[in-house]
């Protein structure tokens, strides 16, 4: 398709502007076809950016190695450019939008020289769903085009729905590495130096400008940039929720179904939970989404969720048949791997994949030949796969994908889970006493900093409210208010009893010997079963100062967990909680200043009082 054939005048104008600014050799409007995907892969293979994997072991799959400076999201270089700094809030980087655009225009000038400018129309959510949103990404990266094919619904069908004057979020992206005449990438992942990387969001004009990085969250603009940062602003303005949440379907032995959404900070195993295989007989868990949930009230007053994505962009290291069998099945074919190891027999490999690497040698994520590890562990800093190595795989390949995952109406949510890695104090599961108490729980989400991250904060809790700290496109204090408002809306409309029940879970309690006392993984189904029953007002429970906990024996003890450990998992640690509340009062809540809702201050005081007994 040619630019002139586009029906949407605004889209046409924006593409022409981008072309004039970035001066690519040519422009291609993506149709979303399989042939187009294959062509993108061929271009990257010819440029020596991708390696085709062994067709009999990993059919239809490729491995990319990024530049060592371009391996993850760059939070320091991520901006929320609202007119007023206050609207970006205390937890986002801010710059004046006009100033930021001026800086970035200088970088974009001529940045696509020697490259093709691809125009990717995409839909986050089922094409035509009333919860879905359309974006158009302009990029000079065929890696981005191929990944977007998997992660979103892309191509001509989206333009048909967009029509002549539909709303879309313009998403501008350039890797920031123009080519001289005759120059090719020739095996060197293109990107700009760190100081020139910008991941910018203009919430008021609903625009995304990304420059200098080719990597995942910085470059696949439908995901974190649109579906979370811009969508959180749309959701605030339009009265819905755009959340960093997995969505799972759970069926009990009686065949009754519920849907649960959950927010966890990074490194808590969100994708593993979304694809969990229950150990409890007769129970079944299926996946609707593993990262993002968009939720709107239905006419019946329930909150309906869709997964706006079409694929999984998951962390590879740690994924194995034990931790996530369904993910291992999902990535057996048609998968893009980034920054994994490459074995002698043309397959991928990573730390904790569950087996040592075959053969004598392996090529690490930097492209260096190394002795093949006999076990699946490597010393810190010497990993074969980068710790943030990724797979990009179509959701439809997941053996436990729920049939409803493509339902444009979404699924009705019965429960919200919040969690984090908390070795002490926080019990295995705790139900909120009210909506506002649940919002309080979401607001104090966090993980204890472990030695795995180089930090002077080891042992302290790093708060990541609602797991949204890096992904909220506006003031986090106002975001808390929005959650409170959702509860008020439901109340006013007589839907309060239909709101999802809220739970705080913690799979990561440790004993004095620093050993995990809960087996986690499939055994978490015992906790999910209690939550399931609580949604129906069943499940034996105990009112405590911190919330509603399972009564003794309400959660059956898994093999290997002693009676003492079980009691510890469900104990209310009054002294620990007093410290927790003090940390929230002194160190966490003050960050939000005058934007912190009074309701949360009152909730904090109410819990404090109950703890005093």
- Written as six digits, the tokens of 156 are 């001509």
Query: In the bound complex, which residue of the shown chain has the CB atom lying closest to ligand TSX?
Result: 269
CA distances from 423 to 169, 419, 454, 466 (A): 41, 12, 18, 19
Active-site annotation holder among 225, 268, 398, 472: 268
Task: By CB under 5 A, name the one of 70, 243, 290, 291 that touches Mn ion.
Answer: 291
- Under DSSP, the state recorded for 544 is E
521-540: which residues touch ligand TSX (CB under 6 A)? Answer: 521, 524
Smallest separation (angstroms) from Mn ion to the CB of 555: 28
Element (H, E) at 599: helix 598-612
Instruction: Mark residues 450-489: x for contact with ligand TSX by CB under 6 A, - for none.
Output: ----------------------------------------
Smallest separation (angstroms) from ligand TSX to the CB of 270: 8
Smallest separation (angstroms) from Mn ion to the CB of 190: 25
**62 and 51 Cβ atoms separated by less than 8 Å:** yes
Q: Is the dihedral of CA 191, 194, 195, 201 positive or negative?
A: positive
Q: Which is nearer to ligand TSX, 94 or 521 (CB)?
A: 521
Task: By CB under 6 A, name the one of 60, 301, 346, 519 that touches ligand TSX.
Answer: 519
30 carries an active-site annotation = no
Listing DSSP states for 272-317 in one string gives HHHT----STT-EEEEEESS-EEEEE-TTSPEEEE---SEEEEE-T
Could you tell me which residues are beta bridge partners of residue 262? 246, 417
Q: What's the CA gap between 224 and 155, in Å, rounded?
A: 20
- Written as six digits, the tokens of 469 are 């700290």
Smallest separation (angstroms) from ligand TSX to the CB of 339: 17
Smallest separation (angstroms) from ligand TSX to the CB of 324: 7
Could you tell me which residues are beta bridge partners of residue 170? 136
Residues that bind Mn ion (rule: CB under 5 A) add up to a total of: 1
Question: Three-state SS for 209?
Answer: strand
Q: Does 322 bind ligand TSX (CB under 6 A)?
A: no
What are the DSSP E strand ranges found in 6-64?
A: 26-29, 50-52, 62-64
Provide the CA 461 distance to its chain's centre, in angstroms. Answer: 21
Burial class (CB in 10 A: 0-12, 13-18, 19+), 449: middle
Q: What's the CA gap between 14 and 21, in Å, rounded?
A: 11
Q: Give the largest CA-CA distance in the chain.
A: 76
Residues that bind ligand TSX (rule: CB under 6 A) add up to a total of: 15
Q: What's the CA gap between 140 and 148, in Å, rounded?
A: 13
Q: Which is nearer to ligand TSX, 334 or 524 (CB)?
A: 524
Task: By CB under 6 A, name the one of 121, 176, 269, 394 that touches ligand TSX.
Answer: 269
Smallest separation (angstroms) from Mn ion to the CB of 266: 7
- Work out what residue 430 binds among Mn ion, ligand TSX, none; the CB cut-off runs from 5 to 8 Å by kind: none
Q: Which is nearer to ligand TSX, 285 or 292 (CB)?
A: 285
- Work out what residue 37 binds among ligand TSX, Mn ion, none; the CB cut-off runs from 5 to 8 Å by kind: none
Smallest separation (angstroms) from Mn ion to the CB of 530: 26
Q: What's the CA gap between 385 and 367, in Å, rounded?
A: 10
Q: Which is nearer to ligand TSX, 273 or 413 (CB)?
A: 273
Q: Which is nearer to ligand TSX, 205 or 511 (CB)?
A: 511
- Work out what residue 60 binds among Mn ion, ligand TSX, none; the CB cut-off runs from 5 to 8 Å by kind: none
Count other C-beta atoms under 10 Å from residue 2's C-beta.
8
Task: By CB under 6 A, name the one of 44, 91, 272, 307 that touches ligand TSX.
Answer: 272
Stretch that binds Mn ion, among 197-205, 290-298, 348-356, 567-575 (CB under 5 A): 290-298
Q: Which is nearer to Mn ion, 142 or 289 (CB)?
A: 289
Q: Does 94 bind ligand TSX (CB under 6 A)?
A: no
Q: Which is nearer to Mn ion, 140 or 291 (CB)?
A: 291
Sorted by sequence, the CB contacts under 8 Å of residue 592 that are 6+ apart come out as 89, 90, 476, 477, 480
- Work out what residue 240 binds among ligand TSX, Mn ion, none; the CB cut-off runs from 5 to 8 Å by kind: none
Sorted by sequence, the CB contacts under 8 Å of residue 447 that are 6+ apart come out as 265, 266, 267, 268, 420, 421, 422, 461, 462, 464
- Written as six digits, the tokens of 272 are 């593993």
Smallest separation (angstroms) from ligand TSX to the CB of 523: 8
Q: Which is nearer to ligand TSX, 171 or 274 (CB)?
A: 274
Listing DSSP states for 57-122 in one string gives TSTT-EEE---TT-SS--GGGEEE--SSHHHH-TTSB---HHHHHHHHHHHHTTTTTTSEEEEEEE
Q: Does 290 bind Mn ion (CB under 5 A)?
A: no
- Work out what residue 507 binds among ligand TSX, Mn ion, none; the CB cut-off runs from 5 to 8 Å by kind: ligand TSX
- Written as six digits, the tokens of 598 are 């009074």
Smallest separation (angstroms) from ligand TSX to the CB of 506: 10
Q: Does 520 bind ligand TSX (CB under 6 A)?
A: yes
Smallest separation (angstroms) from ligand TSX to the CB of 561: 10
- Written as six digits, the tokens of 452 are 């795995």
Q: What's the CA gap between 455 and 457, in Å, rounded?
A: 5
Q: Does 273 bind ligand TSX (CB under 6 A)?
A: yes
**524 and 273 Cβ atoms separated by less than 8 Å:** yes
- Work out what residue 122 binds among ligand TSX, Mn ion, none; the CB cut-off runs from 5 to 8 Å by kind: none
Among 317, 390, 384, 303, which residue's Cα sits nearest to residue 353?
Answer: 317
Burial class (CB in 10 A: 0-12, 13-18, 19+), 57: middle
Stretch that binds Mn ion, among 193-201, 283-291, 412-420, 586-594 (CB under 5 A): 283-291
- Work out what residue 291 binds among ligand TSX, Mn ion, none; the CB cut-off runs from 5 to 8 Å by kind: Mn ion
Stretch that binds ligand TSX, among 14-22, 162-170, 271-279, 351-359 (CB under 6 A): 271-279
- Work out what residue 301 binds among ligand TSX, Mn ion, none; the CB cut-off runs from 5 to 8 Å by kind: none
Stretch that binds ligand TSX, among 156-164, 197-205, 411-419, 519-527 (CB under 6 A): 519-527
- Work out what residue 447 binds among Mn ion, ligand TSX, none; the CB cut-off runs from 5 to 8 Å by kind: none
Contact positions vs Mn ion (CB under 5 A): 291
Contact positions vs ligand TSX (CB under 6 A): 267-269, 272-273, 276, 318, 323, 507-508, 516, 519-521, 524
The residues annotated with a catalytic role in the active site are 268
């Amino acid at each position: 398709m040619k630019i002139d054939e586009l029906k949407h005048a605004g889209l046409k104008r924006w593409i022409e502007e981008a072309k004039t600014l970035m001066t690519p050799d040519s422009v291609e409007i993506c149709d979303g076809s399989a042939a187009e995907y294959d062509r993108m892969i061929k271009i990257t293979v010819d440029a020596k950016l991708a390696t085709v994997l062994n067709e009999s072991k990993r059919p239809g799959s490729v491995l990319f190695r990024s530049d060592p400076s371009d391996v993850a999201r760059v939070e320091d270089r991520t901006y929320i450019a609202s007119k007023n700094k206050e609207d970006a809030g205390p937890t986002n980087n801010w710059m004046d939008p006009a100033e930021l655009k001026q800086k970035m225009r200088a970088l974009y000038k001529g940045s696509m020289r020697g490259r093709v400018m691809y125009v990717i129309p995409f839909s986050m959510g089922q094409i035509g769903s009333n919860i879905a949103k359309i974006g158009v990404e302009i990029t000079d990266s065929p890696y981005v085009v191929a990944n977007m094919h998997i992660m979103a619904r892309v191509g001509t069908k989206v333009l048909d729905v967009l029509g002549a004057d539909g709303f879309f979020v313009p998403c501008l992206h350039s890797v920031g590495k123009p080519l001289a005449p005759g120059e090719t990438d020739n095996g060197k992942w293109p990107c700009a130096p760190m100081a020139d990387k910008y991941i910018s969001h203009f919430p008021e004009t609903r625009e995304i400008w990304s420059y200098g990085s080719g990597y995942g969250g910085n470059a696949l603009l439908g995901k974190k940039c649109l579906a979370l940062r811009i969508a959180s602003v749309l959701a605030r303005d339009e009265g819905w929720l755009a959340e960093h949440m997995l969505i799972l379907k759970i069926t009990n032995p009686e065949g009754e179904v519920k849907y649960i959404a959950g927010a966890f900070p990074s490194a808590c195993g969100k994708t593993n939970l979304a694809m969990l295989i229950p150990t409890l007989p007769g129970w079944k868990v299926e996946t609707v989404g593993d990262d993002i949930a968009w939720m709107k009230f239905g006419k019946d007053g329930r909150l309906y969720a869709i997964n706006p994505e079409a694929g999984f962009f998951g962390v590879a290291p740690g994924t194995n048949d034990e931790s996530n069998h369904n993910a291992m099945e999902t990535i057996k074919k048609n998968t893009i791997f980034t920054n994994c190891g490459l074995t002698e027999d043309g397959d991928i490999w990573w730390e904790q994949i569950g087996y040592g690497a075959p053969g004598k040698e392996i090529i690490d994520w930097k492209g260096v030949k190394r002795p093949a590890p006999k076990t699946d562990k490597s010393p810190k800093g010497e990993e074969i796969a980068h710790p943030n190595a990724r797979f990009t795989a179509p959701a439809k390949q997941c053996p436990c994908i729920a049939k409803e995952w493509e339902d444009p109406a979404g699924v009705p949510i019965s429960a919200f889970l919040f969690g984090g890695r908390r070795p002490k104090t926080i019990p295995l599961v705790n139900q909120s006493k009210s909506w506002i108490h649940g919002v309080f729980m979401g607001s104090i989400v966090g993980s204890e900093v472990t030695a795995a991250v180089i930090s002077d904060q080891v042992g302290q809790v790093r708060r990541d409210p609602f797991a949204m700290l890096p992904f909220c496109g506006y003031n986090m204090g106002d975001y808390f208010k929005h959650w409170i408002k959702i509860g008020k809306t439901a109340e006013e409309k007589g839907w309060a009893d239909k709101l999802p029940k809220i739970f705080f879970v913690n799979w990561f309690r440790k004993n004095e010997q620093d050993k995990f006392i809960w087996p986690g993984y499939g055994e978490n189904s015992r906790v999910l079963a209690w939550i399931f029953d609580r949604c129906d007002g069943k499940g034996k429970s105990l009112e405590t100062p911190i919330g509603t906990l399972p009564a003794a024996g309400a959660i059956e003890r898994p093999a290997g967990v002693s009676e003492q450990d079980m009691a510890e998992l469900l104990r209310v640690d009054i002294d620990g909680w007093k410290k927790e509340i003090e940390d929230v009062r002194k160190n966490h809540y003050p960050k939000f200043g005058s934007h912190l809702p009074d309701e949360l201050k009152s909730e904090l005081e109410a819990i404090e009082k109950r703890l005093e007994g």
